[in-house]
Structure 1
Amino acid sequence: MSIAKGRITQERKRWRKDHPPGFFARPETKEDGSTNMFRWKCHIPGRKDTIWEGGYYPISIDFPEEYPQRPPKCKFSEGFYHPNVYPSGTVCLSILNEDEGWVPSITVKQILMGIQDLLTDPNPNSPAQTDAYLDYTKNRDKYELRVKKQVEKFPPKF
């Protein structure tokens, strides 16, 4: 077993025993019924008492073969509206950047909770999409209205 696969398997066991309420994360099931440990399907709940509350946001985690030495890529759906999410859906977050805050000890739980924090508290110093960045920094009412519309697109699945 590769180092990456061993670590991801360990992460899966750890997640099953201890994950935050409302979060979902599991390896993808391939068409043939086998498990792809390197690609996880996840959902992040919007934090209570924020404009994101009520949404249940799907996100994927793609682990590289060099994991945990290199960070995974986390992606929302294309066009996800947030100042720190690229138009492709890729999340821009320091703990997911090997040149900034990534350290191999960071767990899936820490990643997903970090992304939940980012939803609520965008980083205006690291913009990834123009519209959301400009709305967040120059027209907060418009930003909040667009977030609330997005919340409606992602209702809880349960």
Structure 2
Amino acid sequence: MSGSPSADLPRLCGSPNKEPDGTMNLMNWECALPGKKGTPWEGGLFKLWMLFKDDYPSSPPKCKFEPPLFYPNVYPSGRVCLSILEEDKDWRLVITIKQILLGIQEFLNEPNIQDPAQAEAYTIYCQNRVEYEKRFAPS
């Protein structure tokens, strides 16, 4: 519906990466995750790469924010630390790309402080939530 407030909001999206020769690389997806409404991340659009191995869906894709996020469960390299993306934890063959993206979007507002991947973001998140939100939130 055109003209509605939600029509202007960025949407969750992802698609295979287009190579310089015009072919589509189905093993490398560029995605965009909007910050959820009503959270400090509202208004942000976060770029994420999904990298698939040849044995997908037997193994989960690697997901990496670019640029890396200041976030307790994102490694300094940008790689996402989330149990559904770990083959030896909660990965299941039936998890879809959409479910992965929605799971990551949800987890942006609910970090798992039991499994930190970035010491500085984890420490600030635990000790000073206002400072943490200033550092993470879109400008």
Fold conserved between structures, TM > 0.5: yes
Find 1:39's aligned residue among 25, 28, 45. Answer: 28
The amino acid across from 2:71 in the alignment is H
Q: Which runs of 5+ in 1 are unaligned?
A: 1-20, 153-158
Q: Is the 8 A contact 2:47 2:67 kept in 1?
A: no
Question: Does the C-alpha gap of structure 1 residues 79 and 41 become closer, same or farther in structure 2, counting only changes over 3 Å?
Answer: closer
Give 1:120's aligned amino acid. N
Q: 1:78 Cα shift? A: 4.4
SS at match of 2:123: helix
For each residue in 1:24-80, what CA deviation from the matched residue of structure 2 results, as whole angstroms up to 9, or x when unmatched?
Answer: 110000000000000000000000000010001000000111100000000002432
CA–CA separation in structure 1 for the residues paired with 2:112 and 2:18 = 34
**Does residue 66 of the first structure (1) align with residue 55 of the second (2)?**
yes
C-alpha distance in 1, partners of 2:11/2:132? 25
Equivalent pair of 2:69/2:136 in contact (CA under 8 Å): no
**Counterpart position of 2:93:** 104
RMSD (Å), alpha carbons: 1.0
| Structure 1 residue 53 corresponds to structure 2 residue 42 | yes
Looking at structure 2, the residues matched to 135 and 22 of structure 1 have their Cα atoms a distance apart, in angstroms, of 29
Q: Distance in 2 between matches of 1:43 and 1:93?
A: 17
Query: Relative to 1, partners in 2 of residues 1:117 and 1:141: Cα closer, same or farther, differing over 3 Å?
Result: same
- Number of aligned residue pairs: 130
TM-score with structure 2 setting the length: 0.91
Cα deviation, 1:63-119, whole Å, max 9, x if unaligned, reads: 111100000000002432110000000000000000100001000010000000110
Give the residue type in structure 2 aligned to 1:50.
T
Alpha-carbon separation, structure 2, partners of 1:145 and 1:79: 16
Give unpaired runs (5+ residues) of structure 2: 1-9
TM-score, length of structure 1 as denominator length: 0.80
Report the Cα distance in structure 1 between the residues aligned to 2:21 and 2:68, rounded to whole angstroms. 30
- Residue 117 of structure 2 is matched in structure 1 by 128
Specify which structure has the higher proportion of helix.
Answer: 1
